[in-house]
Structure 1
């Protein structure tokens, strides 16, 4: 139970509510324009813009940054089932694997790399 005492629950709940609030708001807005599939992207970009502006005109709270870093480190395990499913799908693709890997590379690794560079520099 000692590890529970060291957790800043207010920062955790606030950070998660901030992330979920932006995502759900963006989903509602994009649904109004008949494109709910863009909700996650619009939510992520709007949250990044708000944090960038916040960082430009003030200082981000250390509690927010620390909690976000912890969430990002721990959420890597959420992608393990997706990776296993991708491997199973690739077995059945045959000669389409190079095109699939190219799309996977462009749509996943490059945006994550850009996001990491932006976060390191501006946040």
Structure 2
């Protein structure tokens, strides 16, 4: 088993938290804090795309990110259950919610897949 690179873990999680919390602060300023996660994700992906144009992204960052994605996949299941309960109570707002949900899920996943395909 490989040794855990705690420094890479710390900086990767710090990068994610800083982008997310910064985006939440900015979107809260514009009275839309619910967009914080989406804005944070898109801004982080944008910065990484720009960074990739000029420099190589560290293998330590990529390895740590892959581990985080793999280990946190089951954490998504309770979120799905909560979303289902919320869907039942939405009523007429379901089409708008589903559009935003689809856009905010599929667009980042598509961008992530394109990035992974290009870099591998």
Shift in Å, 1:30: 1.1
* 1:47 corresponds to 2:44: yes
Distance in 1, matches of 2:106 and 2:29, equals 30
Contact 2:41 2:108 in 1 (8 A): no
Q: Which stretches of structure 1, 4 residues or more, deviate above 6 A after TM superposition? A: none
- Contiguous gaps of at least 5 residues in structure 2: none
Q: Deviations over 1:36-74 (max 9, x none)?
A: 111111111110011001111010011000000110111
Shift in Å, 1:34: 1.4
Distance in 2, matches of 1:109 and 1:41, equals 9
Shift in Å, 1:85: 4.3
Shift in Å, 1:119: 2.7
Distance in 2, matches of 1:29 and 1:84, equals 29
Q: Deviations over 1:61-97 (max 9, x none)?
A: 110000001101111010122334456678x68xx9x
Distance in 1, matches of 2:81 and 2:34, equals 24
TM-score by length of 2: 0.76
Mark the structure with the bigger radius of gyration: 1
* 1:7 corresponds to 2:15: no
- Aligned residue runs from structure 1 range 1-123, under 5 A: 6-85=3-82, 103=98, 106-107=102-103, 110-111=106-107, 113-123=109-119
Distance in 2, matches of 1:118 and 1:24, equals 25
Contact 1:55 1:122 in 2 (8 A): no
